[in-house]
Amino acid sequence: MLRRHFLTGLLLSPLVARSGISLVAAAPNPAQVLPLWPKQPPGGGGPLGAMAFSAKGAQRNIAMPTLTVFKPLQPKGRAVLIAAGGGYTRIEMGKEAWPAAAWLAAQGYTAYVLSYRLPQEGWKDGALVSLQDAQRALRIVRHRENNVSVLGFSAGGHLLGMAANRADFHAYQASDALDNLPATADRAALIYPIITLEPPYTHTSTHKVLVGKGASLSADTAWSVQSYVNPQSPPFFLVQAEDDPVSDPHNTLIMAAACKQQHVPVEMHRYPSGGHGFGLGKPGTQTTEWPGHYLQWLNA
């Protein structure tokens, strides 16, 4: 219990102090924080010092990956694992993950916010570390919940898209009995996601961090979400603005085409404006409509 309260304070207090956002107050019930790994994360390495927050609530310097749990007052018996974006160089908790978690908890869903390791922060397993954390998180949530979907924003959409489509891929060696559980999702929602790392879509931070400048086409393909869509993939819900300057608007079209080719159900919502990083919606644009469509899709 003391460890849990310490971790909760570690994650939430700096953001409250620096941004003025009360994350605990935003959710129906206070947050609980669960460490992902029983000891050290796979591979070893990692950053030194405390987790750092930007003024807008973006995390970096993540030495201890965690799940922050937002519990609803009246649970529906369904859970959503959330991963924010940030190009694998930071995690946009304040703009994306925590507002979404609070909103979902208010709708009766138990929300799990993933604080995942960032590949360039000294981890020996490099590009694999975020996927290792996403798979471990899915196993933890699957152990606790009967119905598990995922919600990823931007690079978090890339991460959870990879995890949802690669349930049979072992990104790390098992560390305990929990790692024998399936890392599967029942549904997957990807909001302005990075999907493909193949040319000509190689300008993103996601591409730079995961494969690097001048990477081979085979490496680009190996880290592209659409490469792994298969008949066992979960249904997908896709959202994007057509003026997105970061995730080329073709990303959701590429993902939708891959789903249709593999006969995987897909629902897509594209809006004429809104840019990138609009979270639950950019005021004054039609992107504010997506949470309502998403809730209908979740409840179906």
Residue count (the chain)? 300
Closest CA relative to residue 81, chosen from 129, 114, 42: 114
Tens-of-pLDDT digits for all 300 residues of the chain?
A: 323 333 333 344 333 333 333 444 344 555 799 999 998 999 999 999 999 999 999 999 999 999 999 999 999 999 999 999 999 999 999 999 999 999 999 999 999 999 999 999 999 999 999 999 999 999 999 999 999 999 999 999 999 999 999 999 999 999 899 999 889 999 999 999 999 999 999 999 999 999 999 999 999 999 999 999 999 999 999 999 999 999 999 999 999 999 999 999 999 999 999 999 999 999 999 999 999 999 999 998
| pLDDT score at 29 | 59
Output the pTM of the full model: 0.91
- Whole-number pLDDT of residue 300: 86
Nearest to 277 by CA among 247, 237, 254, 233: 247
Which residue is listed with tokens 């930007």? 54
Kindly state the tokens that stand for 228: 């792994």
Q: What is the pLDDT of residue 11?
A: 43
Q: Please state whether the peptide bond connecting residue 200 to the residue before it is cis, i.e. omega within 30 degrees of 0.
A: yes
The dihedral through the CA atoms of 188, 194, 199, 201 has a sign that is positive
For residue 9, give Cα distances in angstroms to 5, 6, 21, 33, 75: 6, 5, 14, 9, 25
HEC string of 226-290 equals: HHHCCCCCCCEEEEEECCCCCCCCHHHHHHHHHHHHCCCCEEEEEECCCCCCCCCCCCCCHHHHH
Given this model, what pLDDT does residue 42 score?
Answer: 95
Phi and psi for 49 in degrees, rounded to 5? 85, -175
- Asked if 238 contacts 255 with a C-beta cutoff of 8 angstroms, the reply is yes
